[in-house]
Structure 1
């Protein structure tokens, strides 16, 4: 199972949250991951992980992370990327999957600012249930809501097709020249680190 630079960083974010929230279920973990990236984009113009999120029925989902965790659970593997233990707990939580840290959070991948964002998300949203986070992310005016309305996904979701391939554009949050410039510089740096250019 190949893990990209962005996914590795994302799993490390999930370790950070799993160390501080117990139990941390899959749905809540995916929502907190998205919220951290959105918050960083709103504030600085630069996301934490550089992942893409799709508009699914229950809100923004990073598809690759979601399926890697689901696959680890479905095949009774002990973990994902060596960083997370995936445990089935069907009677405890709505999606039946709990994430536990297998190794400590590695802060070397993160700036002080990024860790501050993770802490802000934890403080503001950590006590919410996954259902409450879904409601928050579904609010009118949210990026998820915009994609659902623009592509008329309500009917699709009503018909039990809970997934879509429509990407939530975090770049829509680049509302100043400073944020646009910061994004461009950081994106080029990310591509170089990931050996993509």
Structure 2
């Protein structure tokens, strides 16, 4: 099964997290992934993965990666390949643990697609947030002024989340964090390069 470059890199980042955080719940893993991308944008203007994160009730979620991780067992059975999907095992949490799915690494993190700086960001996110619960991470990402909060406010999503659905299709725009001309230029150059790589696949 084919993955985009962004999805492959994101799944590999999840392996990095799963090697270092035990137990690692899917909800927490997705939050840490978002925090790594946001931190990279704040620092340099360029995210690590180029995923699109949607504003869902419990924070930013890259829907395509989230769905693939939830279905990883089935996808592994269908896929005859040897890709990054075979690096993660997804299992139900034991009954005495509070959340649903736990991620465990099957194969080691592959750093081929990551710069030293990107790995440093992944590690910084673990050092800062790795001991927090999923609920605590959700609280941080829901604070007033965060990108998630801005999207929810601008599109009146709070009532939708309470009455109708935990999901939305509204994308969280990292470009709102590009606060210098240097970061804007870096983002544009890197984005064009990302598009070219995607088209070559």
- For Structure 1 versus Structure 2, the TM-score category normalised by the shorter chain is over 0.9
**Cα shift readout 1:61-84 (whole Å, capped 9, x = no counterpart):** 0000111111236x5967971121
Would you say 1:188 and 2:192 are equivalent positions?
yes
Shift of residue 196 of structure 1?
5.6
User: Cα RMSD over matched residues?
Assistant: 1.9
Secondary structure of the residue that 2:179 maps to in structure 1? coil
Would you say 1:122 and 2:126 are equivalent positions?
yes
Deviates more, 1:91-100 or 1:52-61: 91-100
Secondary structure of the residue that 1:168 maps to in structure 2? coil
The separation in 2 between residues aligned to 1:60 and 1:196, in whole angstroms, is 29
Match of 1:134 among 125, 135, 138: 138
Give the equivalent residue in structure 1 for 2:20.
20
The count of aligned residue pairs is 196
Shift of residue 160 of structure 1?
4.4
8 A Cα contact 2:76 2:86, kept in partner: no
Give the equivalent residue in structure 1 for 2:11.
11
8 A Cα contact 2:55 2:167, kept in partner: yes
The separation in 2 between residues aligned to 1:106 and 1:36, in whole angstroms, is 17
Secondary structure of the residue that 1:87 maps to in structure 2? strand
Change (3 A) 1:90 1:166: farther
TM-score (norm 1): 0.93
The separation in 1 between residues aligned to 2:96 and 2:31, in whole angstroms, is 18
Q: Which ranges of 4 or more aligned residues in structure 1 deviate by more than 3 Å?
A: 75-80, 92-95
8 A Cα contact 2:72 2:85, kept in partner: no
Shift of residue 10 of structure 1?
0.2
8 A Cα contact 1:77 1:86, kept in partner: no
**Cα shift readout 1:33-73 (whole Å, capped 9, x = no counterpart):** 00000000011000000000000000000000111111236
Shift of residue 95 of structure 1?
3.6
Question: Greater helix share, 1 or 2?
Answer: 2
TM-score (norm 2): 0.92
Structure 1 residue runs without a partner (length 5+): none
Change (3 A) 1:98 1:169: same
The separation in 2 between residues aligned to 1:92 and 1:178, in whole angstroms, is 49
Would you say 1:107 and 2:150 are equivalent positions?
no
8 A Cα contact 1:90 1:97, kept in partner: no
Structure 2 residue runs without a partner (length 5+): none
